[in-house]
Chains A and B, each alone.
Chain A
Amino acid sequence: MQHSLRLASQGFADSPTSIFDPAATPAHWAFGLSKLVLSITLGIFLTVGGLMLYAVIRFRQRPSDPQREPAQIYGSDQIELSWTVIPILVVVMLFLTTTRVIWQTEAAPKPPVAVDVVVIGHQFWWEYRYPKLGVVTANELHVPVSDPAMPTPTYLAMSSADTDHSFWVPRLAGKMDVIPNRRNTMWIDPQVPGLYLGQCAQYCGTQHAKMLLRVYAQSPEDFAAWIKQQQKPADPDLSGNPAAAEGQTVFMRNACINCHTIAGTVGTGRYGPDLTHLASRDTIASGSVQNTPENLRKWIADPNSMKPGVLMPPMHLNDHDLDVITAYLTTLH
């Protein structure tokens, strides 16, 4: 018992995706509303549940009871009216509070300093485009932290390239669906630097489970530095690294470029993630695998073994080509 209690408290504290540990305004507001709703429903549960329990115990049949049937009561207008009116009052109160939070969140005015990001859901990864900053990246969203005194929220304009997805980072905000042929928006303003996790919350196909979300909230300086680095095309100078140079040739000659973009090269495909700064990311495979050279090599050899159902086909490269492509990709900082 004690063990499981300890486990329980640990579980709550350890989860990086608890909705009760908000770190941005929309999640704070949802949390605030949830506390009100939880206390009201708890009150109702204790009252009604208590009455039920009392009735079940108090009015149970006892051996000492007389044989005849209890008094037949067919109803009571006063009582029935009261248990219609009281719930109506509770509902009205809850409704008004909820409405306020809805409008507060969804109709919040957008400050001019807000960062704009276009989010495009794909089977089974995320594409992020910063149209004003000329940056394109995948799976790891970088946003500036927002000072409540001088908010710099990030506005996400979302659509999908294929099926329905949903963007959910519980500590930052509730989810918003990402739907093809439709543009949804939401905003986040993380107040503490750090990594916030989440994942696709709308079933989108075979690998829905491994369509993970990573949001890096950075101080304004770090964010500016990251943007600056991401704006550069891939470094064309591979002269000091013959393996990488050969890898680049292999990459450009194979079908890789049909799906992947590496800025500054002939690779301009948009079906798969942009790889211009692949090596600057912590993870591959939409956040499900650490970005190490070994994992990368394994991934290129057979993506399906790490993420069954992924749309990237195995490239059937020989060991040498795998080595040099991996060497090339690890230079893409």
Chain B
Amino acid sequence: MAITTPVLAAIDQTLTRRRPPSTVLYEWVSTVDHKKIGLMYIAYGLIFLLIGGLEATLMRIQLAVPNNHFVSPQVFNRLFTMHGTTMVFWVGMMVLFGFGNYLVPLMIGARDMAFPRLNAFSFWISAFGGVLLYFSYLAGDGLYGMGSAPDVGWFAYAPLTAKVFSPGHSTDYWTLSILLSGIGSTGTALNIVTTTICMRCKGMKMMRLPLFVWLMLVASFLVFVAVSPLTAAQIMLIIDRYLGAHFFDTQAGGSAVLWMHFFWIFGHPEVYILVLPAFGFVSEIIPVFSRKAIFGYPAMVAATVAIGFISLSVWAHHMFTVGMGPEGNTFFVFSTMVISVPTGIKIFNWLGTLWGGKIIFKVPMMFCIAFLFQFLVAGLTGIMLSAAPFNWQLSGSYFVIAHFHYVLVGSIITALFGAFYYWYPKVTGRLMSETLGKWHFWLFIIGFHLTFDLMHVPGLLGMPRRIYTYEASRGWGWLNLLVGIGALFQAAGTLVFVYNLVRSYYRGEIAGPDPWDAWTLEWATPSPPPAYNFAVEPTVYSRRPLWDLKHPEDQDTEYE
């Protein structure tokens, strides 16, 4: 039986004296505390979210009516390249790794990450990559022709990236910044894996880890095997561009398709790297707001690991149209359809958790419910895309754009918003405003559905992606107009969210250590947690240590 001791609140009082800004700045820049680094990741990612969102809005204005001249084709091509690159590498990776950094040590009862200095290094190298990417706007053409961001698309198919087709340095900025981001991601992933394996508190067996930690763990393993191929491919591209080698030089016998394979060996697992942490958020929030333990924990873990493995064998479903022949296509149809089984298990288990619970509609839970529906649709359009002959019509069209935005926005960003509302009180000690949260929720969800539900349709009507304008006679105009209006709703919702973040920091209701009556270890420390996380290193006996404390009559330990 566990003996409990009160946290020594006295020593948990962190410094509240006002200090000069330079001291504060120095403290943040030089910090190796996983919580501060996590927050820097998140803040950095949020800034880039606003930049990427602005780029998206500009594109939607350009496409709102046929034959529009709002931006030139060159500017448009840069916009979609920067939008995609920014959102994947400096929003998705940054924010999710930020949450991982902040939460993993707290959830496993550790005092910091395994390699705190590597952690800081990883953040700063990724952050520098983002700056480098945007520096291209100033220096992409060299000093002669200022102002040229990369315009090769976020998957930068060869040979468009060759010196012949992309002169100047904009593509070099793209490739170098992604290389840096890759190094940073690998470092953080290494840290998360090592922390999870080597820093668990007493009794925190692998099968007692909170699901979020499991999902971060699998996502981090995927970083090793998925981001590294991208790093290798970027090295090859750099060698091609700077030393005149021929990896992707089709004139010298090189292969354009090889780049596609290398890119998507990264690109598809990358989707799972981004979505697994989102699954983690949902797997933490749904049980708490249903007041029930997660349904089928072992199956959830098994499904996560299965997704991790299968996701390594599905990459070429992005390449059904490159002429792989019927054998190759058949294999990738199979592996792609199979991955829907473990993914389905996850959805059913969340449903099982809701079933028979007592669902409390706080803002975090609202986002998670929206996530469930939207992720269901994203998965189903994914099944449509996996049927190769249907895919020959859909790939490269706006249907695909709608599908993966359903995953990235409808699932990942939506779950992420839920996570913000859920863990904000832990981080700041204050709750976010529920009223503003509901405004944010409804504006964003309405905007999301207006934009991305309708975006499927132009794809079905033959509209390819990455075109800066189109003819009126194609019949895509009214759809694109509505899609653009939806983008404005989403932008408004996001601004409400940002306002809520800032306002609640000063005016939010004081949260206390455990405002949601939750069960994992991070809620056992004060909010915000002190630098050392836990005054006394905890010991756990079940998956829900705080549940056991609160319900001595009905312990989790009895069900393991």
- Kindly state the separation between the CA atoms of A70 and B554 in the bound complex, as whole angstroms: 12
How many Å lie between the Cα of A270 and that of B394 in the bound state?
33
Interface centre among A91, A173, A203, A205 (most CB of B within 10 A): A203
Contact B387 A205 (CB under 8 A): no
Question: Which one of B297, B344, B389 lies within 8 Å of A102 (CB-CB)?
Answer: B389
Interface string of B256-300 (1 = CB under 8 A from A): 110000000000000000000000000000000011110111110
Q: How far is the CA of A184 from the CA of B324 in the complex (A)?
A: 9
Assembled-state Cα–Cα distance A235/B390 (Å): 46
Q: Is A315 an interface residue (CB 8 A)?
A: no
Q: Is the CB of B392 within 8 A of A173?
A: yes
A83, B344: Cβ atoms closer than 8 Å: yes
**With A72-B293, A84-B345, A184-B323: A206-B354 Cβ-Cβ less than 8 Å:** no
- A95/B333 contact (C-beta < 8 A), A87-B340, A174-B393 known: yes
The answer to whether A182 touches B255 (Cβ under 8 A) is yes
1/0 per position for A186-204, CB-CB distance to B under 8 A?
0000000000011111111
Q: CA separation between A318 and B389, bound complex, in Å?
A: 52
Q: For residue A79, which residues in chain B have a CB less than 8 angstroms away from its CB?
A: 352
**Chain A, Cβ-Cβ closest to B390:** A34
Tell me the chain B residues, 354-372 only, with Cβ under 8 Å from chain A: 354-361, 369, 372
| B contact patch SS | helix
Which of A9-17, A237-245, A259-267 lies at the interface?
A: A9-17
How far in angstroms is the closest Cβ of chain A from B319? 8
B338: which of A4, A17, A91 is its contact (CB, 8 Å)? A91
> Are B377 and A45 interface neighbours, CB within 8 A?
yes
The yes or no answer to B325 lying at the interface (CB within 8 A) is yes
Do the beta carbons of A59 and B373 come within 8 Å of each other? no
Chain B residues within 8 Å of chain A by Cβ, number: 99
Residues 25-47 of A contacting B (Cβ, < 8 Å): 26-27, 29-30, 33-34, 37-38, 40-41, 44-45
B257 near A72: Cβ-Cβ < 8 Å = no
Query: Are A17 and B462 touching (Cβ within 8 A)?
Result: yes
A59 lies within 8 A of B157 (CB): no
State whether the Cβ of B72 lies closer than 8 Å to any Cβ in chain A.
Answer: yes
Asked, given contacts A83-B344, A168-B396, whether A180 binds B250 with beta carbons under 8 Å apart, the answer is yes
* Cα–Cα, bound, A288→B250 (Å): 29
User: Are A87 and B160 within 8 A (Cβ)?
Assistant: no
User: Whose C-beta in chain A lies nearest to the C-beta of B158?
Assistant: A164
Give the nearest-CB partner of B166 in chain A: A205
The CA of A175 and the CA of B377, in the complex, are separated in Å by 25
A75 within 8 A of B: yes
Produce 1/0 per residue, A80-100, CB < 8 A to B. Answer: 100110011001001101110
Residues of B close to A98: CB separation below 8 A: 333, 337, 386-389
Known: A34-B393, A41-B383. A209 touches B358 (CB 8 A): no
B138 interface residue per 8 A CB criterion: no
Is A207 in the interface zone, CB < 8 Å from B? yes
Whether A2 sits at the interface, judged by CB under 8 Å, is no
Contacts A18-B462, A44-B380, A84-B341 given; indicate if A166 touches B352 (C-beta within 8 A).
no
| Docked pose: A203 CA to B323 CA in angstroms | 17
Query: Could you tell me if A69 and B345 are in contact, using CB atoms closer than 8 angstroms?
Result: no
Do A164 and B462 have beta carbons less than 8 Å apart?
no
Q: Is A150 an interface residue (CB 8 A)?
A: no
Q: Is the CB of A56 within 8 A of B325?
A: no
B31 contacts chain A at the CB level, 8 A cutoff: no
B551 and A69 contacting across the interface, CB-CB below 8 Å = yes
Q: Is the CB of A94 within 8 A of B360?
A: no
- Please, which residues of chain B bring their CB within 8 A of the CB of A202? 157, 396
Q: A52-B376, A59-B354, A103-B326 are in contact. Are A175 and B392 (CB under 8 A)?
A: yes
**CB-CB < 8 A to B159: which residues of A?**
162-164, 180
- B464 in the interface (beta carbon within 8 A): yes
Q: In the complex, which residue of chain A has the Cβ closest to the Cβ of B559? A: A74
Q: Which residues of A contact B383 (CB under 8 A)?
A: 37, 40-41, 94
**How near does chain A come to B209, taking the closest CB pair, in angstroms?**
16
With both beta carbons as reference points, the residue of chain B lying nearest to A14 in the complex is identified as B475
The reply to whether B250 and A181 form a contact with Cβ atoms under 8 Å apart is: yes
B411 contacts A by Cβ under 8 Å? no
Neighbouring A residues of B347 by C-beta, 8 Å? 48
A7 / chain B contacts, CB cutoff of 8 Å? 478
Q: Is A200 within 8 A of B461, CB to CB? A: no
Asked whether, in the complex, the Cβ of B160 is within 8 Å of the Cβ of A204, the reply is yes
Cβ–Cβ contact A52 & B466, under 8 A:
no
Residues on A with beta carbons closer than 8 Å to the beta carbon of B351 = 48, 51-52, 55
Q: Which residue of B lies closest to A11 (CB)?
A: B475
Taking a contact as CB atoms closer than 8 A, the residue among A60, A106, A176, A309 that contacts B359 in the complex is: A60
- Give chain B residues whose Cβ lies under 8 Å from the Cβ of A177: 321-323
Chain A positions within 8 Å of B352 at CB level: 73, 75-76, 79
CB-defined contacts of A254 to chain B, threshold 8 Å: none
Interface residues of B in 424-469 (CB under 8 A from A): 457, 460-469
A216 to chain B, nearest CB (A): 17
- Out of A30, A44, A166, A210, name the residue touching B389 (CB < 8 Å): A30
- Docked Cα-Cα span, A205 to B159, in Å, equals 11
- Shortest Cβ distance from residue B263 to the other chain A in the assembled complex, whole angstroms: 12
B77 within 8 Å of A (CB atoms):
yes
A285 to chain B, nearest CB (A): 12
Residue A333 CB within 8 A of the other chain: no
* Residue of B338, B376, B474 touching A15 (CB-CB under 8 A): B474
Cα(A61)–Cα(B289), bound, Å:
10
Taking the closest CB of chain A, its distance from the CB of B83, in whole angstroms, is 13
Q: Enumerate A206-246 residues with CB–CB distance to B below 8 Å.
A: 206-210
Residues of A within 8 A of B74 (CB): 206, 308-309
CB-CB nearest in chain B for A55: B354
The answer to whether B28 has its CB under 8 Å from any CB of chain A is: no
Nearest A residue (CB) for B298:
A75
Closest-CB distance, A231 to chain B (whole angstroms): 30
Contacts of B165 in A (CB 8 A): 123, 162-163, 205
Given contacts A19-B462, A163-B157, A170-B462, contact A102 B341 (CB under 8 A): no
* Pairs A–B under 8 Å by Cβ, sample size 10: A56-B354, A59-B358, A87-B344, A101-B388, A107-B326, A123-B165, A170-B462, A175-B393, A203-B465, A209-B466
Q: B-contacting residues of A (Cβ < 8 Å)?
A: 4, 7-8, 10-12, 14-20, 26-27, 29-30, 33-34, 37-38, 40-41, 44-45, 48-49, 51-52, 55-56, 59-61, 65, 69-76, 79-80, 83-84, 87-88, 91, 94-95, 97-99, 101-103, 105-107, 123, 162-164, 166, 168, 170, 173-177, 179-182, 184-185, 197-210, 288, 308-309
With A41-B383, A75-B295 given, name 6 new contacts (CB 8 A): A69-B551, A70-B357, A73-B293, A91-B337, A98-B337, A203-B153
